[in-house]
Structure 1
Amino acid sequence: MSYRIQSGDTLSKLAQRYNTSVSALMKANPQVKDANKIFTGKMLNIPGSRDEFVGSTGGGSRPGSTPGAAGPQGPVNAGPGTRGPGGSPFDIAQSHLGKNAGSLKLEQSGVGADMEDWVPNNVNCANFVSACLEQAGQISNAQHNNSVMGLQANLDKDPNFKRVSLADARPGDVVSMKTPGGQHVVMFAGMKDGKPQFIGSNNVNPDGSQRISLSSMNYPIMSIHQYRG
């Protein structure tokens, strides 16, 4: 997310407030050369400490999470997905199953090129979904957002997207979820054994970093955005 610096703010205070670190703030804001010098009125990128989904392969799971599948497997009864001028965001995401977010960001084309490199490797959920939507031609680069709430707000403003219910969801729809410590965003991937499946960048690696995986999740859903362009 973006934050406008207020009088009295310091990087250490902001790191504590947003559950991140000074080093992560410095990495997210290369324009800041001295951690002890920030200026009122300037904007900062706030990366957060981590995204909220944790699968069983990540050293335990948070309440409400379900183990994430990392392999290149597809859901049952996916049905037709949404498509943009560049294709299906679900198909684009599925082509990267099993890749670590950190290595995907280094790719020079496609989704990797549209992901922003400064985002820490444990908070790439919105970065990845935004990049898939960009590649599908459903959003512009200016609509890319690395925070869940920021991406949700951008899609709410876009007349090509409409909020739908889970019953009407199609593969590639953007699903924003409320988690115990914040938010998480993935894409709907169809149904399997009566349970909705989701694909996205999830904290399933042993070190807490993210990998593109597909799984069921039972966090409360805040919104589902479907492309109608």
Structure 2
Amino acid sequence: MNFDLYGFGPALAAGTLMTIKLALCSLTLGLVLGLLGALGKTSPHKPLQWLGGGYSTLVRGVPELLWVLLIYFGSVTLMRNIGELLNLPGLELNAFAAGTIALGLCFGAYATEVFRGAILAIPKGHREAGQALGLGKTRIFWRIILPQMWRIALPGLGNLFMILMKDTALVSVIGLEEIMRRSQIAVTASKEPFTFFLVAAFIYLGLTVIAMSTMYFLEKRAGRGFSRSAA
């Protein structure tokens, strides 16, 4: 293996940074969608239950790659029409935005079930205790439900994030220059597929190890008070 990477080292570093940005932006969007979906599915109101369940079922039933393609290419016509109405020719959704929306949408659908399970795992007596103290529904959620839900959901969310980070490779099909796209360009120029795909594998492995360490720290931090009370 040529360790100077035929001059493609900086390009791979830029691709790694793009992958991290894409994963974090998708995570942020997915957490919001997942929390909203879980609140909808656990709501006493039927329309919200149907909305949350429909989102989770629909998105999980379609492959992630297909969502990337649908959102990217489907937005072309939509953005063009909006541009014509606003007199803004050339208006379009770029590959990064489309990838963020697609991956965030998919992450959120799976996170919906993780959050839902976490909410259902919290004893009803905790809500009743909050009501007995005179707390409103909003304060009960923020002060009692959310901290416990976060602790319970963290392991599942960590696993989903690792999957999300590897799924960022799917966005290479729409031209976003993340790790896989940069690797493919390097392979085409150097004719060294094994070298660059192996480097890409090590980069993904390194990112996974960092993510695992971060999740371990967050889980320990979230469980500190619970561990003391259990002891």
Report if TM-score (shorter chain) is over 0.5: no
**Structure of higher CA gyration radius:** 2
| TM-score grouping bracket, smaller chain normalisation | under 0.3
More helix by share: 2
Taking structure 1 as the reference length, the TM-score comes to 0.26
